[in-house]
Structure 1
């Protein structure tokens, strides 16, 4: 029996001794897990960070490779080019006297990604994996009018769904509303969460307290990443950070947002939690991704599935 005093997602994570917090969709997704990761560490848990990488791994120092499609990034790692979120995060961790390893998965298909996850789970001995998504498009089941950017999210979800020996496999989304510019209907997000509630897989929502140490450190990490590579600053985390500071409406975040009209609001500071098992079970094309080896194959499978649909669920306006 869960308690009102402890969100079910956190209650499950606290049953674990070693937790892998992994960004599901690439880019800066791992930053969405920082407040939870830091809170778990403060509670005495061993926490490891990982991310599906958008960065081309061929520019990495050879010593970073720990296995096929798996690299160990530290503050000392040498890499070609800029815009490497895992490296930026490792440097921020070092500056705050925290373990500075961020594991980096290559952006590949489900089959090699699951193998890389299995290798890392064995190496670290983790008993919980928390996939984190900046935004909520990982909650799309496949027949919605707009899916956001599903390829990397679905690769991660399918890969972790196959790790059946890991006792806790969970998903947390931070940044409700930010996927609207990618065509996601947040009315449908709520409908999907209601269906997961009926299936017993919804683990509730809770906010990041604005005056908590975790919020302060998250804001500092997001600012650090922006300063290291301003031309690729995260719109998602810029929005969440603005919401944590009390921003509302069309908050200007920098040149990347251009003339877009933003709607920064307190809902962006909420985590929505679900189980991997329930989310995967409701998904409509996840099983078709099993044999994929590249992200391009995943995109092709999704496109073929979408072509077969007799209809797509239209956007659902939020009525309040």
Structure 2
């Protein structure tokens, strides 16, 4: 197969998110992260306490993000931050920290609409859990999607309920699948997220998880390697029983990602493959590689193996 024959219309050997984003928007669009002060049902006692065992939101929140600031203040600070690189562009308000649909709908409408009131904001990206989304909220977002780009990113994390229980997730895979189906056919962009390396998940199971999700009506898949971060419950578990965790070596993970790519639905856009914890937060594995460096290695590996997204994909009848 030659590059010009890839069905998604680029010379990339996988259906990459940046290219699909450029096709959707005529101008550059940048996400601005917002911390709106949410919590999660496995933090506040509704379903548990302590949150997911691997989670430390401080490891990925930008400096301008703080629930002490209003939505508008965070958007203005985010625009100032990105304007140093790109003067002319539009923005998506990215509600990122914790579960950003876990509140009464009147509150959600107020903060979403505050974000959309800025003339440079053309849509919302909402990170949340599949057990925190009501039908009334989906109907509201469906209406917003008629005029704005609206994306919901669901933290699925694993298809294996034993793995989900081990990280104190508080929901099952079946709940995730039902919520994805409820969200479909509403004009809402659906993203799903997987963590590769959780307890009880083998590499083959992780490949199967990605394939299974790609057969659901999702638009985008994000995944990354499990990282053990400071100040988490998982860090304490790792210190006592490191053998419980499958922490990929970088070259091993590179081959794993290629195995995933060639088996998943070619219609699914791939947005992310690795996570980069800031210096000082990461305990293991320490790869010392940036995202763009990994992507470059991935592109070369796909050529070496003469493979591409969906080469081994078997469509579900």
**TM range, normalised to the smaller chain?**
0.3 to 0.5
Q: What's the TM-score, normalizing by structure 2?
A: 0.38
Whose Rg is larger? 2
Tell me which of the two structures has the higher relative contact order, counting C-alpha pairs closer than 8 angstroms and 6 or more residues apart: 1
Q: What's the TM-score, normalizing by structure 1?
A: 0.38
Greater share of helix = 1
